[in-house]
Amino acid sequence: MSPPLLEVRDLEVAFETHRGRVKAVDGLSFRLEKGEIIALVGESGCGKSVAVRSVMKLLPERTARYEAGSITLDGKDLLGLDDKAMQKIRGREIALIFQDPMSSLNPVLTIGQQIGEAIKRHQGGNRRQIAERTIELLRRVGIPAPETRLNAYPHEFSGGMRQRVMIAMALSCNPRVILADEITTALDVTIQAQIMDLLKSLVSSTGTAVVMITHDMGIVAGAAERVYVMYAGTVVETAATADLFARPAMPYTWGLLRSIPSLERPVDEPLVPIEGLPPNIAQLDGGCRFRPRCAYRRAICGQSEPPLAPAPDGAEGHLTRCWGFDPEIGWLRDTDWKKDLGDPATMAEISAAAAKVPCGRS
Amino acid sequence: MLGYLMRRLASAAVVVVLVSVIAFIIVSVLPGDTAAALLGEEGARNAERYEALRQELGLDQPILVRYGNWVAQVVTGDLGRSLRTGEAIGPAILARAVPTVQLAIMALLISVTIAIPIGVVSAVYYRRLPDHLGTLFALTAIATPGFWFGIMLIILFSVTLRWLPPSGYLPFFQDPLGSLQLMLMPSLALATGFTGVLIRQVRSSVLEVLNEDYITTARSKGLSPTTVLFRHALRNALLPVVTLVGLQLGALFGGAATVETVFSIPGLGRLAVDSIFFRDFTMIQALMLVLALTVLTASLLTDLIYSRIDPRIRRG
């Protein structure tokens, strides 16, 4: 069997800060096949963005430490490469699209210059060839009058158009992998749909594989073939998208699904938020990392961390990190997550603990 | 752009009027007057001669009348005659401006050429040895008084090593090399403080830009660190530096007074100091007016340059 296109295995990334070492990614594993679209899902601070930046080795060199694990592209180890070798990978093999198209384009260079420099770096060519290729890219991402827009500056574009420019830039050297970090978060809903459709059609025509980072379950459902649910720096559940939505097998995933607004739901039915904040990964106690916010928790959850094990639905590649689904002691195997919200007494405890967090989000 | 220019010019006109009023008031509340200064301590005791001179110079008239007369004269382009020497003020200021302008330009060039590389290196090696050395250099420069540094330069290069002439002035177009040689130490002395401030500004500006998202974008395209620094970071980081340099031009003209005194350069600064000693009212007023116009022109030019190099303003 040929190696996967991109594989991250047991990755651990930590940062040196004034207050000591802080782990941002803690035992993360995922794999991406050619032409596949996968999604890493989780709330803010769960390590998604650090994970994609570590694939490109774009983390600040002075503070970031790769402590364990491996990242391989087509079987080639990336963590061992020096910066010179990584420069040949960035943009050509793996490209990155950022969350905020407002701040991720350089305000003093024209978009033609910004797309062209990537082409020049990796493919070369004279001015005219580069300009032609740039115009073709802009046309493909749906920028009107690309011949003139080539010489426009980022501030002369709307947010959605800038994100199209970013996509054109990412596609410019025909990369094998695109990392898309919350690319629709800063856009309004209709533009979100346009951008996602554009990305999907472009990658299906070029065969590029995509790792999407998002906290939006709606986007996951519409685009990804496989989902990795991340919590506190590691994967807590993974499955093919259809399996995950049909039979989620982890209380954190249930929480994410319950907090999606839906048009079909009665308007007076409240959304159910996940109480509390993600834990500080520097202070994990060895138990399940979601336990402090889990309304289904039992004594065993505090004793040891559950392994990433096959979920009870038996679907291929559906894994969950929860004692409640253990084949022998699991107590959540037959729970209907839409009706049973967990033990009321435990829920009250969690709410009380969340209220005490001084800077808790509202 | 034209509307913007008109608004800027209108506000500049208001500033000029205010400066002229303030100049008039300050000069007239100074103890003593030109007549007393001209006659000397002994002569001023002779009330008759003193009054006669005051009348001759027009100092016996009320301040409002004098201001009115002065304004009426200035708007025709005539800055009047020096009370002290009787020479026409316009040509006198023009002649003395030449050395000062040369001094200020040289000091500015020295500051910029020293400060930008040091500031950039400091930012790139943030909190490592080069940064600490750069910061030490910057703070030392800020804390060193220009006139003292000038004297130290004279002692080292003129007295001990005998490499450079200690003082004096040669017009640039008469003997360019000799003029540059003579002006080197004065412009170094004038540049010290500003160089320090500029290093700090460049450093913090580059640090800020290096944390921007578009720098990560540039790196994610596989560009080399040098390309990222020079093509993507520097152009953005130097925008606030342009503003600082423009605003500093006025301060350099002011600071030139002490340096010109130390190095015996017949510039505007020395002229201003001498005029104040002699209560040369007409000259002081004219000088303040010229200085205000210089500062205003410099800041207007800065804004125009800024809008040329920042596309968000140029095509906003």
- pLDDT value at residue A212: 93
A104 vs B309: CB contact, 8 Å cut-off? no
Q: Higher-confidence residue: A260 or B141?
A: B141
B316 vs A155: CB contact, 8 Å cut-off? yes
Residue B167 is classified by DSSP as: S
> B237: nearest CA in chain A?
A108
Which chain A residues are closer than 8 Å to B213 by Cβ? 98, 100, 103-104
Contacts 24+ apart (CB under 8 A), B124-129: B124/B206, B124/B210, B124/B229, B126/A62, B126/B207
Q: What would the mean pLDDT of B240-244 be, rounded to a whole number?
A: 88
pLDDT in tens, A27-53: 899 999 998 999 999 887 788 888 889
Q: What would the mean pLDDT of B21-40 be, rounded to a whole number?
A: 78
Interface probe with B: pick from A55, A104, A105, A122, most Cβ of B within 10 Å: A104
Q: What would the mean pLDDT of B242-266 be, rounded to a whole number?
A: 86
Nearest to B263 by CA among B93, B95, B99: B99
Domain A6-224, CATH number (from 3.40.50.300, 3.40.50.150, 3.20.20.10, 3.30.565.10)? 3.40.50.300
Q: Does residue A213 have a pLDDT over 60?
A: yes
Q: Which residues in chain A (165-204) have CB-CB distances under 8 A to chain B?
A: 166, 169
Q: What would the mean pLDDT of A205-218 be, rounded to a whole number?
A: 89
Q: What would the mean pLDDT of A161-170 be, rounded to a whole number?
A: 92
User: What six digits make up the tokens of A8?
Assistant: 């991250």
**Which among B213, B224, B310 has CB closest to A104?**
B213
Residue B284: phi and psi, rounded to 5, are -60, -45
Q: Does residue B28 have a pLDDT over 80?
A: no
Cβ of B263: how many Cβ atoms within 10 Å? 28
Q: Does residue B31 have a pLDDT over 80?
A: no
Least confident of A302-306, B48-52, B124-128, B162-166: B48-52
Q: Does residue A360 have a pLDDT over 60?
A: no
| Residue B81, SS3 per DSSP | strand
- pLDDT value at residue B316: 56
Sign of CA dihedral A176, A182, A186, A187: positive
Instruction: Say if residues A311 and A318 touch (Cβ distance below 8 Å).
Output: yes
Q: Higher-confidence residue: B1 or A286?
A: A286
Asked if A120 has any chain B CB less than 8 Å from its own CB, the reply is no
pLDDT in tens, B172-217: 888 888 899 999 999 999 999 999 999 999 999 999 999 999 999 9
Question: What is the distance in angstroms between the Cα of A306 and the nearest Cα belonging to chain B?
Answer: 36
Q: Does residue A347 have a pLDDT over 80?
A: yes
For residue B9, name the pLDDT band (cuts at 50, 70, 90). Answer: confident
Q: Higher-confidence residue: B279 or A300?
A: A300
Question: What is the distance in angstroms between the Cα of A148 and the nearest Cα belonging to chain B?
Answer: 15
Q: Where are the domains of chain A?
A: 6-224, 230-356
- pLDDT value at residue A361: 44
Question: What domains are there in chain B, each with its CATH number?
Answer: 2-74 (no CATH), 96-314 (1.10.3720.10)
pLDDT in tens, A299-318: 899 899 999 999 988 888 99
Cβ of A328: how many Cβ atoms within 10 Å? 4
> B224: nearest CA in chain A?
A87
pLDDT in tens, B41-77: 777 677 888 888 888 777 788 888 888 888 888 888 8
Mean pLDDT of chain A: 88
Q: What would the mean pLDDT of A54-62 be, rounded to a whole number?
A: 88
B236 vs A98: CB contact, 8 Å cut-off? no
A117 vs B227: CB contact, 8 Å cut-off? yes
Asked if A343 has any chain B CB less than 8 Å from its own CB, the reply is no
Q: Does residue A220 have a pLDDT over 70?
A: yes
- pLDDT value at residue B281: 81
